[in-house]
Chains A and B, each alone.
Chain A
Amino acid sequence: MSQTITEAPAYTSLAGRFCQSDEPQWLQDLRERAQALFAQKGLPDVQDEEWRFTSLRDFAKYEFIQAEPMTPTPAQLQGVPASFGGRRAVIVNGRLVSPLSNLPDATDGVEVLTLEQALTRAGDDVRQHLGQLLPVENLPFAACNLALFPQAIVVRVAAQARITQPLELVFWTVPNAAEPIVSHPRVFVLAEESSSISLIEVHAGTGEIPYFTNPVFEFLLKREARVVHYRVQCDTAKAYHIAASQAIVHANAAYEFFAVNFGARLSRADVRVRLLEPAAEATLYGLYRIDGDQISDLHSVIDHAAPHCPSWEVVKGILEGRSHGVFNGRIIVRPGAQKTDAKQTNKNLLLSRDAVVNANPQLEIYADDVKCTHGATVGHLDDQALFYLRSRGIQEDEARGLLTYAFANDVLRRIDVVSLREWLELSILEVEHLTFDRGLLEVK
């Protein structure tokens, strides 16, 4: 019995939003267009090519209500990951909570700004790009975010500033006790010329009630800027997480992205990178580990719009139980984007018999002098390797852990923020039982 769920849910109507009426006209216009778009299209169903493998039927059962501003009690903040060593902004239910944050100040070379502040600092870029870098025509949830986000956060890295400590944006959801809530975090990162920063985006929450997080990130990397973006999604087991991001990369700038997720009942991320000018670079690493009935769906688009741009993408999935992984990796090479060098790899490790993976590379090449490769594999732990380890005295569960670690380490070892890497190793790989000794573990 199939049920169509294309109708837009009531909670997405503009009436429910908390946006200030004193917002600039350009933004009000954007919001109205986005809202109309979403109302017209509604929720995607599996007939939609982009949602073929990921059904929203469960999701559609809930009437999520907009999260209201709140100040969480200490008990509600139990479980917020400890700082990874840098400045941090804590965003609860979609709104920045200053007392919980440790924001950088102007002398740090990076600022975390509200929309009004950002309009005075970098008005032109904000007016031109906020809400516009990521086209929402084919991203219904991003359209919904644009219509309804309660507060935009603008991260601006000053020209030439080399920020050595990572900046953390921690999105923490504290559900309402009675009804499932939705939050629409919205971030615009403006990396000025020759700036450099690492940004850690963490999504997590608390409680037993389902919630829905719908974040949208936009990045503008000007010439020679360098941004390393770590995105960790470890929402609760009942949460729905649907994210979208877009990076626009100018000449000689480099955008490096790590998408790591192990939380949420359903996790979907639409990750887009546009290499707009020559010698812009994109690196995408994905790592997810899911179990039970979890679904993890990553749709990436790397758009080569200029010549001489390299892109490198490695996505790895570890699946247990009856979990379901989806990877759709689209690479577009536009006419004139000669000397493009794009490489995509997708590897999946199934730790159970019932886990399922759908992997789909999508290459669209409109230039002739390019190098594009892709490969996808799905496999189990190597029996021979397992026996080899056990034949040396290593217990079976430790041997499995070690091989799983090795699989994931291909991505994890590239994370430069050591505290983040260690936290991920512990949370994703549950490696406590491996006698941990980084020096010995590291492979040269």
Chain B
Amino acid sequence: MAMLEIRNLHVTVEGKEILRGLDLSIEKGQVHAIMGPNGSGKSTLAQVIAGRDLYEVTEGEILFEGKNLLELEPEERACEGIFLAFQYPVEIPGVSNTYFLRAALNAIRKYRGLEELDAMEFLTLIREKMQLLEMNDELLQRSVNEGFSGGEKKRNEIFQMAVLEPKLCILDETDSGLDIDALRIVANGVNALRSPERSMLVVTHYQRLLDYIVPDVVHVLANGKIVKTGSKDLALELEQKGYSWLEEEVLAQ
């Protein structure tokens, strides 16, 4: 059984159909990349999996470890092991990063029947993850993402992911806004989380991220559907040729 199984997914937002019969299957332990032109629906897909109710699923299903994901609230999905690293992380003035992260971690632990971590245990855990992502202490005491630079926000997403240890990691353009060093650090953080038990769905526009996080499968999303699926070489081909040849190919079908 695949970890994530999406069948014939149709999604509309404000009356406009964005996803039009999307199929996708990710096996446990695999890393899938999704590429595709701007506005093709990549973030929509990521947000729908995480449970954003702005998007209306009109047809199809999403199964996560065999469970019907569409019946679950966003927080239940998170507790089941889904994590979305946002393309645009949200700023939350007045809520400290540390408090937020501990509340999240303990909510997930509680759901899974584990003891909540006390302040000491929690701090030990996050110290370790901070080193992994070369995070500055000071960022943790600030409000969630408030006043963070674009790159700091992205790094903070992966830091949260490292702390929460999800089963399915969805990365929505985590590479955009990162400088060369930060890209390497973040990619190392992601790679440290790769395991036979964990799957990843990586949305990106650029090959350079995939040089670090080497995918098992690459998909192209266009016009609300997966129009092509291939090996990691497909990403290289796209980088050279762009998407127009694909559109012609799809139209020719």
Footprint of B on A, CB under 8 Å? 382-385, 387-396, 398-399, 402-403, 405-407, 409-410, 434-435, 437, 439-444
Contacts and interface: CB of A to CB of B under 8 A. Distances in A.
14 contacts: A389-B104, A390-B73, A392-B75, A392-B104, A393-B78, A395-B107, A402-B103, A405-B95, A434-B103, A437-B99, A440-B98, A443-B94, A443-B96, A444-B141
A6 B92 CA distance: 48
B74 A406 contact: no
Contacts of B50: 391
Nearest to A412: B94
Contacts of A405: 94-95
A392 B92 contact: no
Nearest to B144: A388
Given A395-B75, A443-B141, A385 B90 contact: yes
Given A393-B79, A393-B107, A443-B96, 8 more contacts: A387-B53, A390-B73, A391-B84, A393-B75, A393-B104, A393-B164, A398-B103, A406-B93
A389 B52 contact: no
Nearest to B77: A391
B78 A391 contact: yes
Contacts of A393: 75, 78-79, 104-105, 107-108, 111, 164
Interface string B84-118: 10100111111110111111111110010000100
A391 B51 contact: yes
B160 interface: yes
B92 A403 contact: yes
B138 interface: yes
Contacts of B54: 383
Contacts of A406: 92-95, 143
B119 interface: yes
For the complex of A and B, 6 pairs with smallest distance between CB atoms: A406-B94, A393-B78, A392-B104, A388-B90, A390-B74, A444-B141
Contacts of A440: 96, 98-99, 102, 119
Contact of A389 (B79, B92, B138, B141): B92
B208 interface: no
B94 A410 contact: yes
A405 B52 CA distance: 23
A388 B89 contact: yes
Interface of A is mostly: helix
A393 B102 CA distance: 11
Contact of B107 (A382, A394, A442): A394
Contacts of B79: 393
Given A390-B75, A391-B78, A395-B75, A439 B119 contact: yes
B71 to A, nearest CB: 15
Contacts of A442: 96, 141
B143 A443 contact: yes
Interface in B144-188: 144, 160, 164
Contacts of B94: 405-407, 409-410, 443
Contacts of A390: 51, 73-75, 78
Nearest to A410: B94
A441 B99 contact: yes
B142 interface: yes
A444 B107 contact: no
A403 B102 CA distance: 15
Contacts of A389: 92, 100, 104
A78 to B, nearest CB: 34
Given A392-B78, A437-B102, A444-B141, A403 B160 contact: no
B217 to A, nearest CB: 25
A387 B52 contact: yes
Contacts of B91: 385
Contact of A392 (B53, B119, B142, B160): B160
B95 A402 contact: yes
A393 B83 CA distance: 9
A435 B103 contact: yes
A110 B142 CA distance: 39
Contact of A391 (B74, B119, B142): B74
The CB with the most chain B CB atoms within 10 A, among A396, A406, A409, is that of A406
Contacts of B141: 442-444
A441 B106 CA distance: 15
A409 B79 CA distance: 28
B51 A388 contact: no
Nearest to A387: B52
Contacts of A409: 94
A181 B33 CA distance: 72
Nearest to A438: B99
Contacts of B138: 444
Given A385-B90, A385-B92, A393-B78, A443 B142 contact: yes
B3 to A, nearest CB: 18
Contacts of B84: 391
